[in-house]
């Protein structure tokens, strides 16, 4: 038996990989030995910082701009991954947007924009993923623990994430026989710009006190869950939504 390590790395595509949970996930998967394609929507500078952090630590990464809801741009994203690294093994779809307001007051244009990214974006990325993934691959979508909490103001966002969960559970069954797992991670309140923006200190403190662990989650907490699902230890977890929220009911 040879002790030589394979020359072709496992490859991960991480959407929304320039900031927050996506960036932490990209860096964690790079430490796990993946070559990482960091997708971003518009902030080239932040994406380049993610790539620089990975390469300075000895990993392999490249940044690629694509609108996750545009099927042509997402196809080009996967083309770049295959051309540069030889294929794709794991897709982490962390890109998403969140707009909050009571249902009665919600701006319908904002609803359409959010659903375009969160619902259509998930559909488009997952569609390319299952067409491209090599055997033994994994798709990891992002939902939210807010679905089970029924918090006023979150109706539109929760609806979009409910759609993500439905797609995830069905897709896991549609890829039967291909040795591909499909799961979703549903973070609770996590200290990212997406969560913190627009909230006062009292609101943040109240939400941090909700879990029995009495703190907000961190991007590193969530990246660890993704790492588990992307790695060999997570291969028997399939068609599930993992609620990584510190114990919020």
CA distance 47 to 39: 8
At 89-144, the pLDDT tens digits run 999 999 999 999 999 999 999 999 999 999 999 999 999 999 999 999 999 999 99
CA gyration radius, the chain:
18
Token readout for 33 is: 């030995």
Using pLDDT thresholds of 50, 70 and 90, give the confidence band for residue 199. Answer: confident
Give yes or no for residue 6 having a pLDDT over 70: no
Q: Would residue 65 count as lying in a domain?
A: yes
Q: Give the least confident one: 2-16, 43-57, 144-158.
A: 2-16
CATH number of the domain within which 111 lies = 3.40.50.720
In this predicted structure, what is the pLDDT of residue 249?
67
85 as an active site residue: the answer is: no
Q: Would residue 120 count as lying in a domain?
A: yes
Q: Would residue 2 count as lying in a domain?
A: no
Question: What's the rounded mean pLDDT across residues 228-239?
Answer: 98
Q: Would residue 131 count as lying in a domain?
A: yes
Q: What is the pTM of this model?
A: 0.92
CA angle (161 as vertex; 158, 166 as ends), nearest 5? 125
Give yes or no for residue 1 having a pLDDT over 60: no
Q: Would residue 64 count as lying in a domain?
A: yes
Q: Determine the structural domain holding residue 49 and report its residue range.
A: 11-185+219-242
Question: What's the rounded mean pLDDT across residues 25-46?
Answer: 96
Q: Would residue 247 count as lying in a domain?
A: no
* Total domains, the chain: 1
CA distance 182 to 180: 7
Instruction: Using alpha carbons, select from 165, 132, 166, 162 the residue that is nearest to residue 150.
Output: 162
Give yes or no for residue 5 having a pLDDT over 70: no
Using pLDDT thresholds of 50, 70 and 90, give the confidence band for residue 203. Answer: confident
Single out the catalytic residue among 40, 64, 78, 157: 157
Using pLDDT thresholds of 50, 70 and 90, give the confidence band for residue 4. Answer: very low
In this predicted structure, what is the pLDDT of residue 248?
87
Q: Would residue 94 count as lying in a domain?
A: yes
């Amino acid at each position: 038996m040879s002790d030589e390590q394979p020359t072709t790395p496992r490859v991960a595509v991480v959407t929304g990989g320039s900031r927050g949970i996506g960036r932490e996930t990209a860096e964690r998967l790079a430490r796990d030995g993946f070559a990482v394609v960091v997708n971003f929507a518009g902030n080239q500078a932040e994406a380049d910082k993610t790539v620089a952090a990975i390469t300075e630590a000895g990993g392999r990464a490249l940044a690629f701009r694509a609108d996750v809801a545009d099927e042509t741009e997402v196809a080009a994203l996967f083309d770049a991954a295959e051309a540069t690294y030889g294929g794709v093994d794991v897709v982490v779809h962390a890109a998403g947007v969140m707009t909050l307001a009571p249902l009665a007051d919600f701006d319908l244009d904002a609803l359409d924009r959010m659903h375009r990214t969160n619902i259509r974006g998930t559909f488009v990325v997952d569609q390319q993923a299952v067409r491209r993934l090599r055997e033994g691959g994994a798709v990891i979508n992002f939902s939210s623990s807010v679905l089970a909490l029924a918090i006023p103001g979150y109706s539109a966002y929760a609806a979009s994430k409910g759609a993500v969960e439905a797609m995830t559970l069905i897709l896991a069954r549609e890829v039967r026989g291909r040795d591909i797992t499909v799961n979703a991670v549903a973070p609770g309140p996590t200290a990212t710009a997406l969560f913190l923006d627009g909230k006062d200190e009292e609101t943040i403190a109240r939400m941090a006190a909700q879990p029995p662990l009495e703190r907000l989650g961190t991007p590193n907490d969530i990246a660890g869950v993704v790492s588990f699902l992307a790695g060999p230890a997570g291969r028997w977890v399939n068609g599930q939504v993992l609620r990584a929220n510190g114990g919020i009911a």
